[in-house]
Structure 1
Amino acid sequence: MDQHLEVFIKVVEKENFSKAAEELHMTQPAVSQYIRALEETIGTRLLERSNKFVRLNKAGEIVYHHAKEIVALYTKMHYLVDDLTNNASGPIAIGASYTFGEYILPHIIARMQLQSPLISPTIKIHNTKEIIDLVSSYQLDIGVIEGVFKDDSLNAEIVSEDKMVIVAAPHHHLLKKKNEIDFSELAGETWILREKGSGTREAADNLFQLNEFAPGKIMEFGSTQLIKESVEAGLGISLVSRWALDKELANGYLGEVQVRGLPFKRNFSILTRSLFQTKALKVFIETLREYVASAGHERKHL
């Protein structure tokens, strides 16, 4: 692969020629020469330089974005060829939305490491929209998102069902009701929800629309764990995945509000960009399917 792109990416990410040279085990003049040669090839300056900083200009932003994709594709090509004769090994970049990434993915990674210790996973946790963008730009080998994805640019597959319930603090008045309540009885409650762009927020919005319901007050928080802690503290109620509630429900930190028509069901889907999969990626997908199938079977009998 053209080393000019690797040097350029490193300079951009370190924002400094000398730091990039140190990490690349090169001299600073050599790094500068690579950058000048790349700029001559492209036909324009890519970086704004001063004694204090190195920054991308508009042309540099375009080159950096595509250079990252080129490097990712080259690395994937290398491991695909290597896989023809070797066992599953090497890096795999995994992305997941928050619910799956924080409460399910660690168990899958642990199981995969027992079976294939030569695989080296790196994990990024973002909301659903950001995971889709990272898979689309080849920054991730695979993404696991909440909901169903419909776009021909990526390969999508539903891998598990997710049940979502409404939870409240242990002494909340809604938990004292003996029978199921109607959704309309939640009109006066404060709802603690994820931000727009997250799969969990999309599920909540879909549930509200389905019940022709408009929450009177919404508080937006950026993580499921923060939402659970806030609900436990009595700030309001929330719609949360059952996958994320095992410890809280078992220990009585939160209670499930019995609402007519719930649990609300959605899906977890996997997204990939390339038609070719390394052995490492295949092993991860197989492990994921096995884990969610076995865990889902156990939950049905609880």
Structure 2
Amino acid sequence: MIRSLLVYRTVVEQGSFTRAGEKLFLTQSSVSRIIEALEEEYGVRLLDRTTKSVRPTAAGKIVYHYAVSALTRDSETRQQLRELRDEPAGLLSIGAGFTYGEYILPHAIAAFIRRYPLVQPKITIMNSGRIARRVSEGILQLGIVEGDITVDGIIRMPFAEDELVVVVPPQHRLAQTPEIGLADLANEPWILRESGSAIRQIVDRVFSDHHIAPNRLMEFGSSQIIKASVIAGLGIAMMSEWSIRSEVRQGLLVPLRLRNYPVISNFCCVIAASEFQPKVVTVFRDFLTEFRIPESSHV
């Protein structure tokens, strides 16, 4: 049946028995016999044939979509069976939030590929909520998110911690004070990530816990522009320590910690809530729990 569905799908996509036969290395008569047997199996005519083209009937369109789905599942099953015998290989589609995706994931992927060179990573960077939704929809195989993400149909597993710090330029009045109270910054202009991002959720919770409502807020959509804006003196921000390491080393930003209130978040791996996962996904998930960036890396 799988072979018949492959032939049928190819005929529909090529719009021709002859071109389908050429693509599948079959004679036109062989293709015709397979299609006729499939029509007999389903008891309906699947294709409208003219001298110039072949088009699916209404019933044929239904069978075409079934064929595409069945052939995809067959390919995935064969891949999983191969993986039982072999090392991880093939496509690994990963989505990551901005902090992990831009500052840590490149190092993790490089180390993973050195260990498993047959893996082909495909990386998508976007905010954590969208990543989780795409995993639940099957668009991504694995996601790396931060913060409290609640989406149906996923499994969420913390694997590393992230600390957030207040960042100010070196000339700021509190730059020489390593620990501060948030009330000291209530009247400062704050630069925040957009609503819906994991970092913004954490910062909003910190403000709520300290009963602080800053008078001046700006929203920017990327960590890079927030850092550049703080350096330029436009305001202050709360950011992941990972994202500012390079600027701190260069003396462009100063990190400040909140007194008696460490702001700790978790990086979490999310996968679809399914009994079966491709081997490449489970191996990468386990790899994340052990991965540490070497001290010599310039993050």
Relative to the length of structure 2, the TM-score reads 0.74
- Alpha-carbon distance in structure 1 between the residues aligned to 2:67 and 2:165: 43
CA contact (8 A) 2:164 2:263 kept: yes
Q: SS of the counterpart of 1:139? A: coil
Aligned position for 1:51 = none
Runs of at least 5 residues in structure 2 that lack an aligned partner in the other structure: 25-49
Aligned position for 2:32 = none
150 and 129 in structure 1: CA distance in 2 versus 1, 3 angstrom threshold = closer
179 and 269 in structure 1: CA distance in 2 versus 1, 3 angstrom threshold = closer
- Alpha-carbon distance in structure 2 between the residues aligned to 1:96 and 1:256: 24
Q: Structure 1 stretch 76-85 or stretch 241-250: which is displaced more?
A: 76-85
CA contact (8 A) 1:96 1:128 kept: yes
* Alpha-carbon shift at residue 69 of structure 1 (Å): 8.7
CA contact (8 A) 1:181 1:260 kept: yes
* Alpha-carbon shift at residue 163 of structure 1 (Å): 0.6
What fraction of aligned residue pairs are identical, expressed as a percent? 35
100 and 38 in structure 1: CA distance in 2 versus 1, 3 angstrom threshold = farther
233 and 279 in structure 1: CA distance in 2 versus 1, 3 angstrom threshold = same
* Alpha-carbon shift at residue 258 of structure 1 (Å): 4.1
Q: What aligned pairs does 1:1-302 form with structure 2 within 5 A after superposition?
A: 36-37=56-57, 41-42=61-62, 76-151=76-151, 153-176=153-176, 178=177, 180-273=179-272, 274-291=274-291, 294-295=292-293
Q: SS of the counterpart of 2:290? A: helix
* Alpha-carbon shift at residue 245 of structure 1 (Å): 1.7
188 and 103 in structure 1: CA distance in 2 versus 1, 3 angstrom threshold = same
- Alpha-carbon distance in structure 2 between the residues aligned to 1:5 and 1:220: 49
Q: Look at both structures and tell me which one has the larger radius of gyration over its CA atoms.
A: 2
- Alpha-carbon distance in structure 1 between the residues aligned to 2:236 and 2:71: 45
- The C-alpha deviation readout for 1:189-219, integer Å capped at 9, x for no partner, is 1111111111011111111111111111111
CA RMSD of aligned residues (A): 3.4
180 and 113 in structure 1: CA distance in 2 versus 1, 3 angstrom threshold = closer
Q: SS of the counterpart of 1:174? A: coil
Relative to the length of structure 1, the TM-score reads 0.73
* Alpha-carbon shift at residue 259 of structure 1 (Å): 2.9
CA contact (8 A) 1:72 1:139 kept: no
* Alpha-carbon shift at residue 263 of structure 1 (Å): 3.2
Runs of at least 5 residues in structure 1 that lack an aligned partner in the other structure: 11-16, 44-62
- Alpha-carbon distance in structure 2 between the residues aligned to 1:220 and 1:69: 42
CA contact (8 A) 2:178 2:256 kept: no
* Alpha-carbon shift at residue 7 of structure 1 (Å): 11
88 and 275 in structure 1: CA distance in 2 versus 1, 3 angstrom threshold = same
